[in-house]
Structure 1
Amino acid sequence: MKRLIVLFLTGAFLVSCGKDKKNDVENSEEAVAFKDNFSVVLESVYEKDDSLSVVYKKGGYWDYDHPVPFKVMGQPNPQKLTILIPEGDKLENVQITLSTNKEQKTMALKSVAIFNNQKEVFNGGNMSYIKYFDSNSGLIWDEKNMRNNLNFDGQYPPGIAGNQNLEAALAR
């Protein structure tokens, strides 16, 4: 009888310890699921190889000390470029240097989308991103050809920066 009671108590103890471990694993999985994992996706045409740079706003401040570089392979067809923001950083706004190659004379930016954990949080498709981004003097819109002419003579390389409309959209 004594053996049966000891065996029962040992079994109950082992089962309850295993349950706690299972709960710990579930809790850690939930914590991982809520970690921010942003990406900026551009659909664009770059005829020559180029480099982009993304700077983003987090915690109310622009993080100019840690730009996210991205290499582009030139080709005449539209391509989807996915720029990954460091995991865990909350993206509040974004600035994109669209070209650093001074031999690149034009580029077509068709859409800008922003994802968090693979869920779309901003859709700037069909050029609707224009209401959410301001361009600098390095981008000159060519209405006839539906693309941007690039000007590297200004103070900054050609680029776009999210405005208050984008910040409001990302805050939702």
Structure 2
Amino acid sequence: MKKTIIMLISVITLISCGKDKEEVKDNAVAEVVNKYSLEIDAIYEKNDSINVFYKMDGYFQYEKPISATIKGSQMPQKVKVQIPEGIAIENIKIEVSTNKEQEGLTVQNISILNNDKVVIDGSNGKHSEYFLTDESFTWDLEKSRFKLNHSNKYPPGLLGNELTESLLTK
């Protein structure tokens, strides 16, 4: 009789411990941390830097710009900007050039990823579906690129539109 009771208690203990482990696994899977990144493929003919601002809790975080330095080149280059881990961004604003001598810019891709999964695919020129230019941009038909005007109050910038915001907040 004692053996049966001890055996029953052992089986119940083993089964209940196994369930605890399964619950811990389920919780670990459910807690995915945001790791957003912005990828830009562009031709910057002169050395430059960009500033990226993210929108969080309804406001752009202008006091926390994320900067990236770009070495001038005639060839397209990929610029990757990491958003701080754990932040659920609602939109993106990009100051695409702080160098007043940068007269033109060819943008081929602006994509947003979260945990290396594409959230916004701006490749092959599709970025224009997701980002608006400010008054500092004009189109150069002859060179098929943007002309940049640095005489405005702020550097030339791109802002995610309503579609961008809806994709980031869903």
TM-based fold match above 0.5? yes
Q: Please, what TM-score do these two structures have when normalized by structure 1?
A: 0.82
**Residue equivalent to 2:29:** 30
Q: For residues 32-61 of structure 1, what are the alpha-carbon distances to aligned partners after superposition, in whole Å with 9 as ceiling and x for unaligned?
A: 53x111111111011122110011111222
Q: Find the aligned partners of 2:19 and 2:79 in 1 and give their Cα distance.
A: 44
**Residue equivalent to 1:66:** 64
Q: For residues 2-58 of structure 1, what are the alpha-carbon distances to aligned partners after superposition, in whole Å with 9 as ceiling and x for unaligned?
A: 9x99x989x87996797578457635632553x111111111011122110011111
**In the alignment, residue 82 of structure 1 is paired with which amino acid?**
K
Q: Find the aligned partners of 2:16 and 2:68 in 1 and give their Cα distance.
A: 48
Cα offset, 1:165, TM superposition: 2.1
Give the total of aligned pairs.
170
Quote the sequence identity (%).
34
**Residue equivalent to 2:108:** 110
Written as runs of structure 1 = structure 2, the 5 A alignment for 1:14-163 is 19=18, 22-23=21-22, 26-27=25-26, 29-33=28-32, 35-163=33-161
**In the alignment, residue 133 of structure 1 is paired with which amino acid?**
F
Mark the runs of 5 or more structure 2 residues left unpaired by the alignment: none
Is the contact between residue 104 and residue 145 of structure 2 (CA under 8 Å) also seen in structure 1?
A: yes
**In the alignment, residue 112 of structure 1 is paired with which amino acid?**
I
Summarize the Cα distance change of 1:30–1:102 in structure 2 as closer, same or farther, 3 Å threshold.
Answer: same
Aligned to 2:25, the other structure's residue is in SS state helix
Q: Please, what TM-score do these two structures have when normalized by structure 2?
A: 0.83
Q: For residues 57-77 of structure 1, what are the alpha-carbon distances to aligned partners after superposition, in whole Å with 9 as ceiling and x for unaligned?
A: 112221111111111122111
**In the alignment, residue 168 of structure 1 is paired with which amino acid?**
S
Aligned to 1:169, the other structure's residue is in SS state helix
Q: For residues 121-145 of structure 1, what are the alpha-carbon distances to aligned partners after superposition, in whole Å with 9 as ceiling and x for unaligned?
A: 1112222221321111222211221
Summarize the Cα distance change of 1:22–1:136 in structure 2 as closer, same or farther, 3 Å threshold.
Answer: same
Farther-moved stretch of structure 1 (24-33 vs 103-112): 24-33
Aligned to 1:156, the other structure's residue is in SS state coil
Mark the runs of 5 or more structure 1 residues left unpaired by the alignment: none
Q: Find the aligned partners of 1:60 and 1:73 in 2 and give their Cα distance.
A: 33
4+ residue runs of structure 1 moved beyond 3 angstroms?
A: 11-25
Farther-moved stretch of structure 1 (60-69 vs 16-25): 16-25
